[in-house]
Amino acid sequence: MTKRALNRGPWERMFLDLQIKSLYWYSSKPNGVFISPRARPDSNTMVLFAVDDRCLQVFTFDRFDLLDPWNIQLDGSLIGKTILINVSPYGIDGRRGEVFLNNIGTVYDPWGGNNSQFSSVTRQSMLWNFYGATKVKLGSGSDISFPGSTLIPHGDLEMSGGTQDGRTIVRGDVLHDAERGSFTNYEFDPPCPLPLPPSLNIPSACD
């Protein structure tokens, strides 16, 4: 039997394309705001708001903002919006590192739905952009649903339970380290498209 090496060229070009886009989206100025439970000792829920009428709502989290076991609530102002969530991989020393989201509790849509009841329209409008992360640790070992597509254009993904509801795009390795859990391939179909870098030459494989 003749063995043939896999032609990785088209995939490498696609990930180069995604890395350029991811950096461009990561550099977007946030116009969405969030209220951290650290500012409200009586609450364990982080609330995300839109503060203007633009279709694209951009949120930027420090890699430490999501370490604690908090719930996430999307406010009604995000209905009908494209939701881009950038998560920084940079530490205090300026170096890129791992991002931990394995303590997040329940994620609620603008109507209060969660897990299997989370709005499909909202789920298809969300992208979590982990530009530069060397590894993303996601899940809590439970059956909690993590809504939205996930882009990790440089590093690995370690999934420790729960359900990833969206496109899952990972440049490195994917480790599913749990007895239960799944990846549900919801498409990314937001109300308005994410902007493209002005000078991007789209590879032919992505046409």
Boundaries of domain holding 176: 18-192
Q: Tell whether 3 is covered by a domain.
A: no
Q: Tell whether 200 is covered by a domain.
A: no
The arithmetic mean of pLDDT across residues 114-128, rounded, is 94
pLDDT at 52 over 90: yes
The arithmetic mean of pLDDT across residues 16-20, rounded, is 92
Q: Tell whether 199 is covered by a domain.
A: no
Q: Tell whether 102 is covered by a domain.
A: yes
Mean pLDDT estimate for the chain: 86
Q: Tell whether 98 is covered by a domain.
A: yes
Q: Tell whether 54 is covered by a domain.
A: yes
Number of domains in the chain: 1
The arithmetic mean of pLDDT across residues 126-135, rounded, is 94
Q: Which band of pLDDT confidence, cut at 50, 70 and 90, is reported for residue 188? A: very high
Q: Tell whether 105 is covered by a domain.
A: yes
Q: Tell whether 185 is covered by a domain.
A: yes
SS (H, E, C) the chain: CCCCCCCCHHHHHHHHHHHHHHHHHHCCCCCEEEECHHHCCCCCEEEEEECCCCCEEEEEECCCCCCCCCEEEECHHHCCCEEEEEECCECCCCCECEEEECCCCCEECCCCCEHHHCCHHHHCCEEEECCCCCEEEECCCCCCEEECEEEECCCEEEECCCEEECCEEECCCEEECCCCCEEECCCCCCCCCCCCCCCCCCCHHHC
